[in-house]
Structure 1
Amino acid sequence: MLSLLHSLLHLTILEAIFLGFAGFLLFLTVRYILESFQLGDLHKKAVFITGCDSGFGRGLALKCLEHGMPVFAGCLTRQGIESLSVDAKKFIGKSGEKGRENGRLDAFLMDVTSDESVEKVAKRLEEKCQEFGGLHAVVNNAGITGKHIADDFLDMEEYLKVAEINLWGPVRTTQAVKKLLKRAKGRVVQVASICARVGLPGLGPYTAAKYGVSGYCDVIRQELRPFGISVHILEPGFFDTPLINRQKIDAEIQEAWELAPSEVKKEYGVQYFQDSRQATQLFLNTIASSQISLVVDAYFHAITARHPRSRYQVGWDSILLFIPMSYLPTGLQDYIFTIIGLFMPKPASR
């Protein structure tokens, strides 16, 4: 041991870099091999997914059905239920391929902000998950972004609205089905965001809620481990889903401006408002990825892998930009935002 330590101390800089690079490649190789093993008997692994009307939740529900899993899909609207049911038909009622079982879909109305709605769903799952020995996974996918505008234009109502869905919704849902997860030694899968790592200007309510839900998952990961339950967080970057519908976001910015107090409008000026609308659209058009399958695949891996990750970074903006930035000292992050701010809209009073 001492001889090894002595040898390491006498490495040249190039040798140290090579050794570190080789060690990193070895880590990636071993991780890749371990993560390639999938659970068996997926047709017995019941999955409960919230926010299945569209986007990631809908895509995940269909992927789970394709692999023969029983899927309980919470939708906010009847239109969402009907649309999902139509798309699910190709995976249900047909002979399974390659020996796979057929998937089973149970889609229902659910509002994650309502105690009554969530309790009603929990009772439904209690009855229907008996044959599966409990619930294998809950996927807290439902969420909204809230208004994309500076904090000066927002009120507490906006913060509470976003937190009710993005923070208290997952807490409420997880607590309601926790006993079913304990029976199956299941998994909690939670979508957070790169905004749970880096606070982006103009996304105050969303960022606060995502930091909160990420913290909640870090706590219950430790608390539920003795019961055989694992907790997994997704940290995707920006993806082109209905969550960031351009027209909706622009209308919300317009609404925030119209409702702002006169002194705030005077302080910022009409030009700031117009420039902010354009900057938001440019940012989303530049950075938002259309490859939503990347997030769906990460969800699916967290549910079905024998050795899932505790955290998944999804999207090149997450992996190459926001996650590395989150490890920088706060002062350096502030300096970077200061440089970026030179090219951003300025309040009229500044």
Structure 2
Amino acid sequence: MISFIKWILNLSVFEALLWLFLIFLIFLVIRNILERIQIDNLTKRAVFITGCDTGFGRGLASKCLEHGMPVFAGCLTQQGIESLRADARKSIGNGRSLDAFLMDVTSDESVGKVAKLLEEKCEKFGGLHAVVNNAGITGKHISDDFLDIKEYLKVAEINLWGPIRTTMSVKKLLKKARGRIVTVASICARVGLPGLGPYTVSKFGVSAYCDVIRQELRPFGISVHILEPGFFDTPLINRQKIDGEILEAWEQAPSEIKKEYGEKFFNDARQSSQLFLNTIASSNISLVIDAYFHAITSKYPRSRYQVGWDSILLFIPFSFLPTGIQDYIFAAAGLFLPKPACQ
């Protein structure tokens, strides 16, 4: 051991960096091999997914069905249920492994009813293999000065309390199957982006919840997995909807706030928001769906999944910088963003 320590201390900087690179490369190769191993008996692994009306949830439900997995899909609307069932019948046959139902993650009563339903239907599967907390909203894309506490509560009710409420309701079914909890967070759980206050707060919160229960539920054989996607072009970031919410926030703002910021700021903020999403949002939503599916079906899933080029190459590296440097970068970027009239 002593000779090994001496050998390390005698390495030059270049040699040390080379060895670190080789170790990291070996780690990546081994991880890649292990992550390709899939669990067996997928047809007996029941999966419960929230937010299946559109987007990631809809895509994940279809992918699980294609692999023969029993899928319990929570939808907010009857239209979502009907269209999901139609898709299942059309692309997967008769969709016999799909059970879609109405569910509101903000309602204790609604979630409780679903939990009872799952308790009955998952008996033959030996419990619930995975719950996927996918349902979410972005909230208004505008500065905190234009928001009130109700906006924060509305977003948190869905993005934070929704996953907690859902997870707690099916925890005993997960314990029975020694299952998995898969939750979508965001790069906004790593980096606080200006103009996305309520969304960022809720995602930091749900990420923290997952980090806590990962340790608490480990003795029960339950694993916990977080997705940290960047921006993807789904109904969640519908441009017209976002623009309408910004307009609503401006119209409802107190007169002193409007005067402080000025109408030019408001118009520029609308344009910059659209430009940002058009530039950075990826249309390849299959990346997120595949990450979800891997977390559910891999024998060796990751605890965290970074998804999308902006997450991997931009936001995650940025999150590791010292806060002071982050502030300088935000300040530099602010030179090209709308300015309040009072400045």
Instruction: List aligned pairs for 1:19-34, cutoff 5 A.
Output: 19-34=19-34
1:342 aligns with 2:339: no
Is contact 1:39–1:304 with CA below 8 Å preserved after alignment? yes
Q: What secondary structure sits across from 2:48 in the alignment? A: strand
1 CA distance for matches of 2:132 and 2:139?
Answer: 21
1 CA distance for matches of 2:297 and 2:319?
Answer: 29
> Which ranges of structure 2 fall in alignment gaps of 5 or more residues?
none
Is contact 1:68–1:103 with CA below 8 Å preserved after alignment? no
| Aligned residue in 1 for 2:194 | 201
Cα deviation code 1:281-337 (max 9, x no counterpart): 000000000010000000000000001000000001000110111111111111110
1:178 aligns with 2:171: yes
- 1:91 Cα deviation (Å)? 5.2
1 CA distance for matches of 2:23 and 2:280?
Answer: 32
| Aligned residue in 2 for 1:66 | 66
1 CA distance for matches of 2:221 and 2:206?
Answer: 21
1:88 aligns with 2:81: no
1 CA distance for matches of 2:339 and 2:16?
Answer: 47
- Which amino acid in structure 1 is aligned with residue 293 of structure 2? F
Q: What secondary structure sits across from 2:52 in the alignment? A: coil
> Which ranges of structure 1 fall in alignment gaps of 5 or more residues?
95-101
Instruction: List aligned pairs for 1:48-67, cutoff 5 A.
Output: 48-67=48-67
1 CA distance for matches of 2:17 and 2:157?
Answer: 48
Instruction: List aligned pairs for 1:324-339, cutoff 5 A.
Output: 324-339=317-332
Residue 123 of structure 1, aligned match among 116, 126, 129: 116
| Aligned residue in 2 for 1:17 | 17
- Which amino acid in structure 2 is aligned with residue 20 of structure 1? L
Q: What's the TM-score once normalised by structure 2's chain length?
A: 0.98
- 1:13 Cα deviation (Å)? 2.2
CA-based RMSD of the aligned residues comes to 1.0
Cα deviation code 1:94-120 (max 9, x no counterpart): 6xxxxxxx8600000000001110001
2 CA distance for matches of 1:14 and 1:224?
Answer: 43
| Aligned residue in 2 for 1:262 | 255
Instruction: List aligned pairs for 1:175-324, cutoff 5 A.
Output: 175-324=168-317
Cα deviation code 1:33-81 (max 9, x no counterpart): 1111000000000000000000000000000000000000000011111
Equivalenced residue count is: 343
- 1:15 Cα deviation (Å)? 1.5
2 CA distance for matches of 1:75 and 1:103?
Answer: 17
- 1:8 Cα deviation (Å)? 1.6
Q: What secondary structure sits across from 1:233 in the alignment? A: strand
2 CA distance for matches of 1:5 and 1:221?
Answer: 35
Q: What's the TM-score once normalised by structure 1's chain length?
A: 0.97
2 CA distance for matches of 1:340 and 1:129?
Answer: 51
- Which amino acid in structure 1 is aligned with residue 208 of structure 2? G
- Which amino acid in structure 2 is aligned with residue 69 of structure 1? M
- 1:93 Cα deviation (Å)? 4.3
- Which amino acid in structure 1 is aligned with residue 184 of structure 2? V
Residue 138 of structure 2, aligned match among 115, 122, 145: 145
- 1:90 Cα deviation (Å)? 4.0
- Which amino acid in structure 1 is aligned with residue 198 of structure 2? P
Residue 109 of structure 1, aligned match among 92, 102, 108: 102
2 CA distance for matches of 1:105 and 1:160?
Answer: 33
2 CA distance for matches of 1:291 and 1:27?
Answer: 28
2 CA distance for matches of 1:229 and 1:277?
Answer: 44
| Aligned residue in 2 for 1:99 | none
Cα deviation code 1:174-205 (max 9, x no counterpart): 01101100100000000000000000000000
- Which amino acid in structure 2 is aligned with residue 181 of structure 1? L
